[in-house]
Amino acid sequence: MTIACVAFIGPQNNPMYLRSLEPASDDQYMKLHYVVHCSLDAVEEKVLLKRGPGDVQESYLGLLYPTEDYRVYGYLTNTHVKIIVLLDDEAPVKDDLVMRVMKRLHNLYVDTTSNPFHKFGMPISSPRFDAALESIVSVYPRPGGSVGGFKT
Amino acid sequence: MNFVASFYPQEHRTPPLPLVALIGCSELHREISDYFIQHHRPPLVFHGSNEPLEQFVARAFGPKKQSPLVGGPLPGILKADWFAKHRGKKPAMVVALVERRELDGDPSTWNRMMYGLKQLADAAGQRGAGVLVGVVQQQGQGDLPPDRVQAVSHNLTLDRRLILPLALLPPPGVAPDDPATRHVRDAALTRLGRLALELAAAYYGRLARAVADKAAARRSALGGPLPPELAARTAFKLAVYAEFRQDWATAVAHYREAYAAILAVQIGLPPRPQRWSEVCAVAELVHLKLLMLAVHQGRLEEAVAQVRAHLGHFARPKGVLPASAQGAHLGFLVRQYQVAAQEVGTHVDALPAYYTTTTTTGAAGTAAIGGGGTTSVGGGPAAAGMTGGSTTGAAGGGLMQQQLTGGGATAGMTGTGAGITGSGATGSSTIVSSASLKDCSRAHLLMAAARLAVARRQQADALRAARAGGGGALGSGSALGSGGGGAAALDTAPVRRGPYVGQLVLRNEAAQGGYSPLSDQDYLLFLESEECRLVTPAAVIDVMSSALLLLKDAPGADRLRSQLGGLMAQEHVLAGSLSSARKLLLQVCHQYRREGWLLPLLQALLSLRDVAQRLRLPAEHLCYSLEICALANQLQYKPAVLVPLYGSGGSGQHPIKFLTAGGSGAAVGDEDGGDAGGNDGNGTVSTAISEQASCCARLVDLGTAMAACRSAVQTLITGISEIKQGIMKTAPTSTDGTPAPGAGAGPGPFSPDASGLAPAPATGASGGLPRHFHYTVEHLDLREAQRRARDAGDPRPVAELMHRHTQHDYGWSRCVSLAAGFAYTRPDPDSADFYLGLFCGLPRGLPLKAVVLHFADDQGDMWVQALPGVVPPHAPPYPLLPGHIGSALDSATHSFHHLHLNTHLRQHPPPPPGADGAQPDAEPEAERTAGHAHAAGGPASTSSTSGGPGEGSATLPPQRWTHYSARLAPRCLGRLRAERAILLLSDHATVVFKLASFPPATAASAQPGVLTGPLLGGGRGGADAAAAPFRSVRSSGPTGGPAVSPGQLVLNVAHLGPLPSLSYGLPSGLALLGEHAPLLAVLEVPREGRPLVNACMEFVIGRTSGGLQPGDIVLVVDDAAGPQPGLMALNNERYRIQLPTVQPGRRYTVRLWARASAAGTAAVGAMLLCPAQVTATATLTFEEPFDFKCRMSSEVGVHTLSLPRLTSRDLGSTALTIGQPVVLTAMLRALQPAVVEVASAQVALEPGSAIRLVADPNQQLAAHGPPPGVGPPTGPGGPSQAPTSLASTLGPDPAAGPAGAAAVASGALVVAPYTRLTKSDVMTLLLPICPTELLDHPRSLGRLNIRWRRPAGHVLLPQQPAPHATASGSGSGSDAAGSSAEDGGFAGAEAGDAEGQREGEGAEGAVGEANQRGDGFVDPLAPPCPDPWVTTTLELPRVTVAESLLTARTVGPSAITTGIPFTYSLQLQNFGTTPLELMITLQDAPGFACANERSPSLSVPPRERAGVSWQLTASQPGHQLLPGVRLLAPRHNCALTTQSPHVYVQPF
């Protein structure tokens, strides 16, 4: 599982954090913006479909949609913050694995917003957040990286 | 738009149908062919031919071309006309129509017919086609002659069943469209169709076998697998033949083989363009077939997999194609995406969120081509047959699904051996999320097509540019590049499609056949010519328009549409349709602005500004320039210490260098608060922020943005006519519509040249050009506006709506954000403070001449100039601007207003001396003039001075909140609305924020009260701007809390001046149940207040306790000033009375009476609405006035013999006997220490209780109690209302209700004289009654209505509350006053005595005061008042009435003398209807001796009387008890023992 991009989207669909985990050119970075932005359509569609009485919206939204380059996964917190993760695997990925990443990212976000100086809904610009996110993502190998001395 | 129909011929996009040739009877051809196309299932193509027989035979069944088994390289993969030939030229069979008369005819006719048939059968037989002879005859002509049929069959070697009669002609005299005729005709044609289908299937099966045999022969000749081209061709033919047979499963399997073989075709590395194109074209054809078959069979997943595989294989060719071929290939890809969107995407979009898919396992579903024993014809890598023959799909397969099953049967018959039935496969259903297929949704596929179209256009632009520039570096593989620049374009006219699919040929007269193949170079030249000719922005726009059209109503694609709109706008710009580009970009910007996606917004704004420049829209250009500057500034990371560097023209290090170099030691204000200190001052910044800033820096250079910003600000000062001239000079391309150089390469770097924002000289107005810049920030709920437009039948596009609401989407708000709100508390009752916070998001200061606020109330509009800083605590309200000046401010054509306004704008006044005592740090005049700004990201300080170096006092400092405030005096009560905030930037620039158009601030928004909502989010600037805008404005009170309520744009002016007070006057004594306890609600207007006009007061019963329910209380209000003055009774409801005008220093009293029907405590609430709410509450306790007891006694000596009761006796009820008179004794005791005068007691017997009064109560009854009063009361109001005579009480008492009225009608009326009761006094009432009917169940006797009142001199009086020394400032204060009055009791009344006298002198219009006595009490009986008489209803006891067998009465002498006998008799009366046998026993008595029989038996006849007498003699003097008598009625099992009376026995 290779994570290409992680984004935190605010409750009003405003981007709070968007980071490419691989070196990206401007075009690629803009493309990530557009992919994440368009994924909000899929998030809304999934949320709307759960509007039956008594339906409980699950946080993990699963695969939102695949694109040519990425597979877009979503997660919705109780405060309507969306966590969008872009994987650039073509092979199917186990949902459990993605869900675990999402939960860790969610915990990280909760820790960050617990900071009394953080303003809810505002962009996240904390290096500590970056570092923690890096540690979460680094568990999952990237192409060309090595784990335990073996090339992946 | 139907992509498939526009891209492919019909034979490719529709399933092939068997072709049947019709010969003979040409007048019937059309009818027959129509029937088989329209009505027959499956349809068949009957093609009638009018050719001569020989010509037809030669065309349809001519000799077949012979091709060698193994030859050289194949010229192509698939012949272009092969498909069309089999669908339209080569019939599978022929139907020869002969007339019946020919069959029955003479030998010459017969011979001629047979000659033709023989010729036809021979030719068809040579090609394996079937022949069928149809004998056309009239209906009803009967069967064919068997001998003739036998002869034809024999001569043609034809099965007899293939010679069939066709009764197509109607019988003579019958219309052809007669239903009976048509029915017979249809039956004949159906038989024909069945046979034709059978023969056609056999024909195509034979063809398939022949192809398979031929392939096997070639394979054996080659000694290995077939070449991929041949394998693909063979599999394709087999698939088409299977389609002809409607054996869909076999067709899919063969198409897959063909596709796999195509993938294995060698193309070369780098790919040869012609070969690559041919392979792509053949693959496209096979792919289309596979898609359509999969979709029509409901196997959507297979279709999606096919799309993915196809796009995966052909998206990127192996190796580099030349540029022209690359462009053509992009066109191919665009087509693939569009077709997939139509064929597959539509179905994917229709999927539910989760759907069930069936996967089959097992070998039974594996296709096997059984013909000839060969199972595979291809040697490709993926030549496996169809796996997973899942013939059941979740979605309906429809017609094709049914045909699939039928096709399988047909295939079996024809022997092709397609064993694809899937019936033996075991399927398992799984639920799958449809999200995994979303990449094949229409939106994504069309979006991808649009991107590829853009890429193709860019490629074509590059080709054009290279051609224009004499060659260019188009890549190493470019034929143009290698061939030298400026190569002449190929004349594309002689180029034609080649004989094989995907091939092109050049017309060449010298070549054999007139055509010669194209060389590679010519081919590339052709492609280049075509690309340069056809691929233009308009073509790309067509692609995108069709996508937008399809996605117009697609749900869940809003953002994708925005993205597509952005792309399309770029193409419109290139195509010169700037207005369309502007409309699209406005929508795109709106979407990104609304959701705060700043980088995409920045990209779109750059385009939009370019469009505005070319459209010569200087105002828009200016706005977008400023917004881009603000946005770029916001997106850049800038440490706080760098802000001055920006202001000094970018002399500092560029922020991007800080990012990349890790900073220069600037302490970064991390949002973690103190976390920044732990980063060793390395300028550590979030990676995400640096990524964004880096990308932004490449889009827009900050230094250039600063220069543009400076220029724009200068333009605002001097007037926009300057910039307009600049635009006209720098937009040379806008007239001819050709794109600007470099414009097609996407948003380029921001440069003054491109922007047209070179600093303009600050000159005066140019002649004829508008100078003024007017911008209105208005909230537009786009969805609501769209809905309204739809409802009104105005389906305008979004852009039109947005255009009508200019500048609606906060573009300017990024430059200047605004927060506004009234102060939490009003400084005094006659003024209100309004605060405005302005945040300048630009990288430099913005001039601000003045701020004018527009308010509206019920009296109209008013305009006030807001001054910088905080309003001094004791400053007077600001003067209003003249109305005509104000009304001109918010109009776009206010060319004169500034001149007039300058004379009215205030110079900032100094604060009054000593007025800042409540605020020690109140700024001096200089600071107030300079603006009250604070750095939002820093500490909450109000001591900042000017905005920046070199900026005058009228400048909004950048990146800070600046406060403006105004104090105004509300003119009237009601809503005071802040309508607009008008920023006068200069004499030529005005920005109006329509405050009233914004929705109310909500706590959920990131910044309540900040009109831009979430749009400020993003980057460090966003975090700064997100700081609370008014946190430095603190309340001047001791608490020092926040002073401003951001977002509160409406102030409800409830009152002007000090609030009046409201208090209660409570009754001076205990309130009794049922009486009207008087209350006073006293309103007092302070002397320093304003007259109370149009106020009203509301009354309501509040909480209750002690068993009292709100519904038990009736409140009577003396509505003296209402439209209908009088009393108004309220029962548990809110009631409002209108108050008259009360002048300052006066009081107004409202009289109330509360009456309760149950004991307990209740709170009466009064609320003064002026329209401020002043409340007061009074607590009243109601007590029971009387204690009531009843006793019943019957006549002495009378006994009743009753039948034993079957039911148990009810407790609490008294058992009576029919006919036995009873005396009811009712005792009434006064409970409370109050004097009560009882006027009457009225008995209202229950109408159905079967109780009658024995006699006239006026004669029989008497009341016994304390001495009656002196007579009818003579107190105030008493004599006229109290009953003065008996007759006056005879009327029905309304309080008794209908039951009482009924009782009165029966004469049950009891009257007692006037009686005064004080505490513990008892009044007794006697009531003889007689039960007359049976009453099994306990029932009340009725009610006793006591009519009473308080006598004169003892009337319950309300207290006058003490006047308030000072007016209370708020409603809560009045509450306290009310409660104090409530608790004050009598003491308060005494204290208010003298005051009441004084108030009474000047009271005018105060009703209560006119009725006020000098002792502080208000007479509650002054008219109008409720009836002082109270009727207390008491419940009489419950009784049962039993039947009486007989009545026994013992009668003895009243005086007895010892020794003298006397008669003691028993009188009996039988009330029953049967004789009664009694055993009577005189019991023993000690003092008496009986002379006769003591126990006689007696029979009493019905309704008769009887008696028994005994002679007794007393033996002892003194009080003796006479002997009792026991009666026993054995039959009724009841007995009675009389009670013996005492008698006095005199001594002898």
Burial class of residue B549 (count of CB atoms within 10 Å of its CB; 0-12, 13-18, 19+): exposed
Contacts of B686 in chain A (CB under 8 A): 124-127, 129-130
- To the nearest 10°, the Cα dihedral for B687, B690, B696, B697? -150
- Cβ B670–A14 below 8 Å, yes or no? no
Chain B contact present for A80, CB below 8 A: no
The CA distance from B776 to B809, in Å, is: 10
Name the token pair of B469. 């520039």
Question: How far lies A63's CA from each of A143, B404, B749, B1011, in Å?
Answer: 21, 34, 37, 36
The whole-angstrom separation of Cα B378 and Cα B384 is 9
Residue corresponding to tokens 């009610």: B1343
CA–CA separation, B1417 vs B1396, rounded Å? 9
Number of alpha carbons in the 13 Å side-chain half-sphere of residue B673: 8
Distance CA B789, CA B786 (A): 5
- pLDDT beyond 80 at A134: yes
Kindly give, in sequence order, each residue whose CB lies less than 8 Å from that of residue B1443, ignoring residues fewer than 6 positions away. B1202, B1203, B1217, B1218, B1334, B1471, B1472
Task: Return the number of other C-beta atoms located less than 10 Å from residue B357's C-beta.
Answer: 16
Q: What is the pLDDT of residue B1031?
A: 78
Quote the tokens at residue B1299: 């039951």
**B830 near A CB under 8 A:** no
- Pick from B382, B383, B404: nearest CA to B393: B404
Q: Which residues of B193-208 are buried (b: 16+ CB within 10 A; e: fewer)?
A: bebbbbbbbbbbbbbb
The neighbour count for residue A56, using CB atoms within 10 Å, is 7
Q: Which amino acid is at A124?
A: I
Distance between CA atoms of B236 and B251, rounded to whole angstroms? 9
Q: Which amino acid is at B1348?
A: W
**CA B302 – CA B306 distance, rounded (Å):** 6
- What is the structure's pLDDT at A138? 82
Rounded CA separation B1304/B1318 (Å)? 29
Instruction: Sort out which chain A residues have CB atoms less than 8 A from B438's CB and list them.
Output: 42, 64-66
Residue B1304, Cβ neighbours under 10 Å: how many?
A: 19
| Torsion angles phi and psi, residue B1339, rounded to 5 | -150, 150
Dist. CA B95–CA B91, nearest whole Å? 10
Mark B1057-1091 as b/e (b = at least 16 C-beta within 10 Å): bbbbbbbbbbbbbbbbbbbbbbbbbbbbbbeebbe
Q: Is A55 part of the contact surface with chain B (CB cutoff 8 Å)?
A: no
User: What does the pLDDT look like over B432-485, one tens digit per residue?
Assistant: 777 778 788 888 888 899 989 999 999 888 888 888 776 544 443 343 333 444
How far apart CA B388 and CA B381 sit, in angstroms, is 18
State which amino acid sits at residue B603: Q
Split into its structural domains, chain A has a count of: 1
- Cis before A53 (ω within 30): no
Selecting from A29, A42, A117 the residue whose C-beta is nearest the C-beta of B435 gives A42
Rounded CA separation B1321/B1237 (Å): 11
CB distance B307 to B440 below 8 Å: yes
Return d(Cα B829, Cα B970) in angstroms, integer. 9
Q: In a 3-state reduction of DSSP, which class is residue A20? A: strand
Instruction: Report the residue of A36, A41, A105, A125 to disrupt the B interface, i.e. the one with the largest count of B CBs within 10 Å.
Output: A125
Angle, helices B179-222/B228-244, rounded to nearest 10 degrees? 160
As to burial, measured by CB atoms within 10 angstroms (0-12 exposed, 13-18 middle, 19+ buried), residue B832 is buried
CA distance A149 to chain B (A): 28
Please tell me the distance from the alpha carbon of residue B250 to that of residue B239, in angstroms, as a whole number. Answer: 7
> Is the separation of the CB atoms in B384 and B224 below 8 Å?
no
Residue A103 is predicted with a pLDDT of 94
Q: Mark yes or no for CB contact A127/B671 under 8 Å.
A: no
Closest CA to B43 of B193, B167, B206: B193
CB B283 within 8 A of CB B234: no
Interior angle at CA A58, CA A55 and CA A63, nearest 5: 120
B688 touches chain A (CB under 8 A): yes
**What sign has the CA pseudo-torsion B961, B967, B973, B976?**
negative
At B912, list the tokens. Answer: 């009054």
For chain B, which ranges sit under pLDDT 50? 361-426, 472-485, 639-682, 731-769, 910-953, 1002-1009, 1012-1026, 1258-1312, 1366-1410, 1414
Taking the Cβ of residue A95 and every Cβ of chain B, the question of whether any pair is shorter than 8 Å is answered with no
Residue type, B279: V
Interface A-B, measured as beta-carbon pairs within 8 A, has a size of 158
> Residue for token digits 């100078």?
B771
CA nearest to B1529, candidates B1472, B1463, B1465: B1472
| B687/A42 Cβ within 8 A | no
- Which pairing describes strands B504-507 and B515-517: parallel, antiparallel, or unpaired? antiparallel
Q: Hey, is B790 helix, strand or coil? A: helix
Number of Cα atoms under 13 Å in the Cβ half of residue B546: 22
Helix (H, G, I), strand (E, B) or coil at B1184: coil
CB B523 within 8 A of CB B506: no
C-alpha dihedral, B1243 to B1247 to B1248 to B1250, nearest 10°: 50
Domain hosting residue A101, numbered range: 3-151
Distance, in Å, from the CA atom of B535 to the CA atom of B324, rounded to the nearest integer, reads 11
Over residues B1093-1136, the pLDDT tens digits come to 888 888 888 788 888 888 888 888 888 777 777 888 877 777 88
**CB atoms B439 and A125 under 8 Å:** no
Residue B691 forms contact with A (CB below 8 Å): yes
Tell me whether A31 touches chain B (CB under 8 Å).
no
Which residues in B lie closer than 8 A to residue A120 (C-beta atoms)?
1006
- Chain-chain contact of B1020 with A49 (C-beta, under 8 angstroms): no
The reply to whether residue A41 touches residue B599, judged by beta carbons under 8 angstroms, is no
| Minimum CA–CA partner of B602 in chain A | A30
What the block records as the tokens of B1178 is 């009074």
**Pairing, β B1213-1217 against β B1438-1442:** parallel
CATH of the domain at A75: 3.30.450.70
Evaluate whether A88 touches B992 at the Cβ level (below 8 Å): no
B contact residues 439-468, partner A, Cβ 8 Å cutoff: 439, 441, 443-444, 448
CA–CA distances in Å: residue B633 to residues B592, B655, B843, B1228: 17, 10, 6, 93
Whole-number pLDDT of residue B102: 83
